[in-house]
Chains A and B, each alone.
Chain A
Amino acid sequence: MKKLIGIMLTLLMSLGFVFCMACGQNGGTGGGTADDPYAHIPAEYRFKLPVEEYEPDRVCGDTSTGEACAYRSSKTEFDKNDVTLSFYFGTYFVYDDAQTQLERSPFRDYPFLDLYCKAYKPVGTLFEQTGEHFIKRNNGRYISEHYDKYKAIFVCNSHWQLTEIIFNTKEVIKIPAELFTESEGFISFQIRAPHLLDENNIQTFNSVIINYRLEEDKVIIQDDMKIQY
């Protein structure tokens, strides 16, 4: 079982994509210091990332879609009926102002952003969905109306390696108890942007995984924080 959890952990930690951006390019508004231009931003919104050893001839990863999401918790053990976590999400916008960003990426001005929790159980080397909970729909245009809300700051070092992601928005979510059906499984917190006229046409997507273990009525999550980008 431990082996299985390990496999799942490896698998799920790899879910996502690299999104290295110019250092301090996106953000850096007043309140910071020379050493840390984002010092004014509350620590809970800031997610430091492990930085791999720099390889000059390593080609960056496969093509990305663009969103980032994360969760954070002050504890790892919960009552099954009260698994409440803080979720963070956002996207990297290339340009400093919404107008330029909108002009350059009008197709990304999504009308909705849906939040989901989906439950999965391991099957063989992969996994299978066991439940789903729709959390909420955020209305309002992604760039033209909520640029600051959805704008995440991607901080890079001089080698274009991503070192930190800083979010601007947070949702505190209570995960329904009925999603915890397996002795071991995971919950995927997902952000999805459906097309205005076609709900099945998902324009962008990402998710962060919460691995859990169920012991009677207790849910024990593996990590107290995780970020996916």
Chain B
Amino acid sequence: MKIKRSLLFLSGIIFFLCCVGIIISVTSLDGTRSYAQTDAGATVQTVAPDKISSVKSAKADCVDLSGAESQSSTVGSIFVHGALSWIDDDGIAHPLRGVKVIINNRESYNNSPVYIDHPVVMCIADDNGKFSVEIDNACGPLNIVARVYAGDDNVIVKRSNSTKDEYFVNSDVHENVMVGEHVYLTVSENMNSEEGQALQISQALLTARDFVAEMTGSQPASVYASYPGLGSNCNYSRSRREISILKMNAISTGNLPNSYASWDVIMHEYGHHIEYELGIIESVGGTHCFDENDADVLGNKLNGIQLSWSEAWATVFGLVAQNYYGNYLKDIRYVNDTYYDSYKFSKRYDIENVAQRIYGEAGEGCICAVLWDLFDGGVEKNDTIELGYQAFWNVTTSNGIKTFSEFINQFYSLYPEYVNAVGANLTYYSMASTLPEINNVKDISISTAPTFSWVAQGGSARFPNDRFNLVIYDDSGSEILRTGDINTTAYTLTQNEWNKVLIANSQCFTASVVSYSTKSVLTGGYYTDRCEKIYKPTQINKSWTIKKTDRYNEDIISLSAGQFIDYRTTFEAGEQKIIQTFGVADTCIFVYDTDGRLMSYDYNSGYGANAYIFLDINPKTVIVRVRLENNRIGGTFKLAIVNVREDYDIGCEYGNLNYFYDGEQYSTYKDCVNVYTFVATEYRRNITLTVDADFDSYLYFIDPRSTDSISSDYNRPCVFNDDGAGNLQAKIVKKNLTVGVTYFVVVGPYNPSTQSGHFSLNIS
């Protein structure tokens, strides 16, 4: 009979709740079903609805579910208001946020100790620990009692007994509440009971859960915490979706939180739950300390780096979540700071300033420090990055990363602009090598490449960094050069590599090292920051373009001892070029492609000690480097470049320094000019050069010993002329030429890109 009656009661109350749907709630909750024992030992049954929607107004129906006689037929609203708090070990009260509250109507049987709580309304306490519920269509009077749970239906704290009873605390009972009345309930629980301790645990868990919901936009999978947990530590069981929290005093120093107040530990364990949900954990277990290299401890690199990542992420997750809700948590000791505080520690562990920073990618503390610095507002020496909550969440939780190495590569791909900025921290915490240093910085020159060295680091005695690439950057941070794999901690650039650095359009260069650990599984590469800027060895950079319309180009420059100049030269047209120096200085020319490969060079093929290069190239950019052959002395020279065309058939002569023949017919070719030489003799010291052409001609006469710029003044060593004889012909008159000197003559149309044709060069 009793069984039958109970079943009737249960089915009736379920029907009652499902049909009437009552409730004030700020979130949608899954239903639970629980049975609990009152502190008085009387049996109480509670049935929660299967589904509760977010409706503002609560309605109750006047249904006699228990079979007891209704005390009144009056129907109307009853208003229930509640204020919930928990009191910490310092005696400070805090609002009990987000917990599930069920308003019950308590019925007793003829003054017996047995009573039944009829669930009437369920709601969730707000951020101030308050709730207000209007029960419409209530059939008063009711005996109102609020049951406050340690959590909600997504995260709840349960006892460790076999039935896993949910913790709750009942308010005082307000008897005979009549329709139209307002009831004010308060629940305030200190830490002298396990119920109170469970409430505090729930606050840590709900904070963690809410943060995940904020970041992901959805409620994570449910989990429960058992307290007092069994075993020798706090932990998380994936198969049971259970967080186990020990009951333990912080007896070590008396200055740290007890276990139930160790929010950092509790939220860390919840972090493991989320790691599994997100697929960012592959932990094999084993011990873990902040200040060890887990790969060394386990003697297994993969296990070690997976362990350290999962533990570090869980720790930082908790601290970031506390920071997110800092305004709510500011009065709780050990919460919302940069310290990881555990009941079992003898001191606080500051992840902002991790003292032991030699453990690298398998060091839990080191990873914590790097992650925290990426998240927080960078104010430290090695920290200039502030990702903030959402970006930090996204970059640490996506794509199933399970090690720090996987994380950093994901970070690099998402934030290429921070590759080197995070490097300072990676070096500081030993993931990356130290910054590269130049051992021979005083000796480097054009022909002496720098030698770099660094300390491998890596954090592990057994699995250190052992493979490296050296990366060279220009002034703007663009990569100039990346070496191949280096298996030592020192490297001298090859001459080709050095050339590539030297010809880069930048006065300075910097360098970083990318480190890998190749033993067991490959990890890395971890970029260092860039080293201080290093000025190239007394280099001058210039850029110029040789246009289709150009007839003759020159640049005059003085170099001091050891200096050189790189002309980044772009040719718009033409195939063959003459590149030569003029003046009395002993110069040499080197031509490189933009990858630093040497294409051509010359020391003394020009006039006197000058250099001369004939180069057959398609329109492209090359680096023309000019320096004095003896780099201990300085000097001035002129660099001249002309477009020419090798085509004997049409009589175009150029760099073989052939004399021109007086009055002989020649032709010009599109985009090109003609170059000749003239050697002054006793009989030809005062000359007049004229061009007889069927196009608008232009004429240059260059003294190869001079660094004077070209001029229209015939009295200057290097002269030019446009229109001379007639309206179209060029003419130059030169007197007092030096016998034996080979002068250079350039003949071309006014605009080589549009004009060409036949001409004769006449001398008198």
Interface residues of chain A, those whose CB is within 8 Å of chain B, are 10-11, 13-22, 25, 52, 55, 57-66, 92, 94-95, 100, 103-105, 107, 118, 120, 124-127, 129, 156, 159-162, 188, 192, 201-205, 207, 229
Contact of B232 among A14, A100, A118 (CB under 8 A): A14
Q: How far is the CA of A184 from the CA of B432 in the complex (A)?
A: 55
A-B complex: 8 closest residue pairs judged by Cβ atoms: A61-B233, A57-B238, A205-B346, A60-B285, A160-B286, A202-B346, A22-B299, A19-B287
Residue of A nearest to B358 (CB): A104
CB atoms of B249 and A55 under 8 A apart: no
- Minimum CB–CB distance for B288 against chain A, Å: 6
* Per-residue interface assignment for chain B, residues 274 to 311, with 1 indicating a CB less than 8 Å from any chain A CB and 0 otherwise: 00100001011111111111001111100100010011
**Residues in A neighbouring B236, C-beta threshold 8 A:** 58-59
**Residues in A neighbouring B287, C-beta threshold 8 A:** 17-21, 60, 64, 92, 162
CB atoms of A95 and B229 under 8 A apart: no
- Minimum CB–CB distance for A131 against chain B, Å: 14
Question: 24 A-B contacts, Cβ less than 8 Å apart?
Answer: A14-B228, A14-B233, A14-B246, A15-B251, A17-B344, A18-B233, A21-B297, A21-B298, A22-B297, A57-B276, A59-B235, A59-B236, A60-B283, A61-B234, A62-B235, A63-B288, A63-B342, A64-B344, A92-B287, A105-B291, A107-B291, A107-B356, A125-B192, A125-B193
Contact of A62 among B233, B247, B258, B298 (CB under 8 A): B233
Q: Given the known A-B contacts A65-B345, A94-B297, A105-B291, are A14 and B315 also in contact in the complex, defined by CB atoms under 8 Å?
A: no
**Residues in B neighbouring A18, C-beta threshold 8 A:** 232-233, 287
CB atoms of A65 and B281 under 8 A apart: no
B231 within 8 A of A: yes
Q: Given the known A-B contacts A14-B232, A16-B344, A57-B238, are A62 and B253 also in contact in the complex, defined by CB atoms under 8 Å?
A: no
CB atoms of B237 and A58 under 8 A apart: yes
**Residues in B neighbouring A55, C-beta threshold 8 A:** 237-239
* Per-residue interface assignment for chain B, residues 364 to 376, with 1 indicating a CB less than 8 Å from any chain A CB and 0 otherwise: 1000000000000
Contact of A16 among B233, B283, B356 (CB under 8 A): B233
Summed over the interface, the residue pairs from A and B with CB atoms below 8 Å come to a total of: 166
B340 within 8 A of A: yes
CB atoms of B229 and A14 under 8 A apart: yes
Residue of A nearest to B266 (CB): A62
CB atoms of A63 and B251 under 8 A apart: no
Q: Given the known A-B contacts A120-B251, A127-B249, are A61 and B232 also in contact in the complex, defined by CB atoms under 8 Å?
A: yes
CB atoms of A202 and B253 under 8 A apart: yes
Q: How far is the CA of A65 from the CA of B239 in the complex (A)?
A: 27
CB atoms of A104 and B296 under 8 A apart: yes
**Residues in A neighbouring B284, C-beta threshold 8 A:** 160
Residue of A nearest to B271 (CB): A59
CB atoms of B192 and A17 under 8 A apart: no
- Minimum CB–CB distance for B56 against chain A, Å: 39
Main secondary structure of the interface of B (DSSP, over half): loop
Q: How far is the CA of A19 from the CA of B285 in the complex (A)?
A: 10
Q: How far is the CA of A64 from the CA of B297 in the complex (A)?
A: 13
- Minimum CB–CB distance for A159 against chain B, Å: 7
B77 within 8 A of A: no
- Minimum CB–CB distance for B748 against chain A, Å: 74
Q: How far is the CA of A58 from the CA of B283 in the complex (A)?
A: 9
CB atoms of A59 and B289 under 8 A apart: no
B32 within 8 A of A: no
B252 within 8 A of A: yes
CB atoms of B307 and A60 under 8 A apart: yes
- Minimum CB–CB distance for B564 against chain A, Å: 47
- Minimum CB–CB distance for A28 against chain B, Å: 13
Contact of A125 among B194, B291, B315 (CB under 8 A): B194
Residue of B nearest to A200 (CB): B253
* Per-residue interface assignment for chain B, residues 343 to 355, with 1 indicating a CB less than 8 Å from any chain A CB and 0 otherwise: 0111101000001
CB atoms of A205 and B356 under 8 A apart: no
Residue of A nearest to B245 (CB): A62
**Residues in B neighbouring A58, C-beta threshold 8 A:** 235-239, 285
Residue of B nearest to A126 (CB): B249
B461 within 8 A of A: yes
CB atoms of A60 and B288 under 8 A apart: yes
Contact of B298 among A22, A59, A105 (CB under 8 A): A22
CB atoms of B229 and A94 under 8 A apart: no
Q: How far is the CA of A17 from the CA of B237 in the complex (A)?
A: 16
Q: How far is the CA of A192 from the CA of B298 in the complex (A)?
A: 26
Residue of B nearest to A18 (CB): B233
**Residues in B neighbouring A15, C-beta threshold 8 A:** 232, 248, 251, 344
Contact of B228 among A11, A17, A92, A105 (CB under 8 A): A11
B414 within 8 A of A: no
* Per-residue interface assignment for chain B, residues 36 to 75, with 1 indicating a CB less than 8 Å from any chain A CB and 0 otherwise: 0000000000000000000000000000000000000000
Contact of A20 among B228, B285, B344 (CB under 8 A): B285
**Residues in A neighbouring B238, C-beta threshold 8 A:** 55, 57-59
Q: How far is the CA of A60 from the CA of B268 in the complex (A)?
A: 12
Residue picked from A17, A61, A129, A192, most chain B C-beta under 10 Å? A61
CB atoms of B197 and A125 under 8 A apart: yes
Q: Given the known A-B contacts A22-B297, A60-B286, A202-B252, are A65 and B258 also in contact in the complex, defined by CB atoms under 8 Å?
A: no
Q: How far is the CA of A65 from the CA of B253 in the complex (A)?
A: 14
- Minimum CB–CB distance for A68 against chain B, Å: 11
Q: How far is the CA of A127 from the CA of B287 in the complex (A)?
A: 28
CB atoms of B461 and A59 under 8 A apart: no
**Residues in A neighbouring B272, C-beta threshold 8 A:** 59
**Residues in A neighbouring B230, C-beta threshold 8 A:** 10, 14
**Residues in B neighbouring A107, C-beta threshold 8 A:** 291, 355-356
Q: How far is the CA of A206 from the CA of B349 in the complex (A)?
A: 17
- Minimum CB–CB distance for A142 against chain B, Å: 14
**Residues in B neighbouring A161, C-beta threshold 8 A:** 285
Q: How far is the CA of A202 from the CA of B276 in the complex (A)?
A: 35
CB atoms of A204 and B346 under 8 A apart: yes
B265 within 8 A of A: yes
Q: How far is the CA of A162 from the CA of B265 in the complex (A)?
A: 22
Q: How far is the CA of A102 from the CA of B345 in the complex (A)?
A: 22
B136 within 8 A of A: no
Q: Given the known A-B contacts A58-B236, A125-B192, are A63 and B290 also in contact in the complex, defined by CB atoms under 8 Å?
A: yes
CB atoms of A63 and B235 under 8 A apart: no
**Residues in B neighbouring A57, C-beta threshold 8 A:** 237-239, 276
B269 within 8 A of A: yes
Q: Given the known A-B contacts A11-B247, A55-B239, A57-B239, are A64 and B289 also in contact in the complex, defined by CB atoms under 8 Å?
A: yes
CB atoms of B268 and A62 under 8 A apart: yes
- Minimum CB–CB distance for A158 against chain B, Å: 11
CB atoms of A65 and B292 under 8 A apart: no
Contact of A94 among B235, B285, B296, B300 (CB under 8 A): B296
**Residues in B neighbouring A207, C-beta threshold 8 A:** 251-252
- Minimum CB–CB distance for A192 against chain B, Å: 7
**Residues in A neighbouring B232, C-beta threshold 8 A:** 13-18, 61, 229
- Minimum CB–CB distance for B346 against chain A, Å: 4
Q: Given the known A-B contacts A14-B232, A107-B291, are A59 and B192 also in contact in the complex, defined by CB atoms under 8 Å?
A: no
**Residues in B neighbouring A17, C-beta threshold 8 A:** 232-233, 287, 344
Q: How far is the CA of A60 from the CA of B286 in the complex (A)?
A: 6
**Residues in A neighbouring B461, C-beta threshold 8 A:** 95, 100, 103-104
- Minimum CB–CB distance for B242 against chain A, Å: 9
- Mark out the residues of chain B between 317 and 353 whose CB falls within 8 Å of any chain A CB in the assembled complex: 340, 342, 344-347, 349
- Mark out the residues of chain B between 213 and 232 whose CB falls within 8 Å of any chain A CB in the assembled complex: 228-232
**Residues in B neighbouring A124, C-beta threshold 8 A:** 192-193
**Residues in B neighbouring A25, C-beta threshold 8 A:** 299
Q: How far is the CA of A207 from the CA of B344 in the complex (A)?
A: 10
Q: Given the known A-B contacts A55-B237, A66-B289, A125-B192, are A201 and B347 also in contact in the complex, defined by CB atoms under 8 Å?
A: yes
Q: How far is the CA of A22 from the CA of B295 in the complex (A)?
A: 11
Q: How far is the CA of A52 from the CA of B315 in the complex (A)?
A: 25
**Residues in B neighbouring A95, C-beta threshold 8 A:** 296, 461
Q: How far is the CA of A224 from the CA of B200 in the complex (A)?
A: 36
- Mark out the residues of chain B between 399 and 431 whose CB falls within 8 Å of any chain A CB in the assembled complex: none
**Residues in B neighbouring A13, C-beta threshold 8 A:** 232
Q: How far is the CA of A105 from the CA of B365 in the complex (A)?
A: 13
CB atoms of A52 and B358 under 8 A apart: no
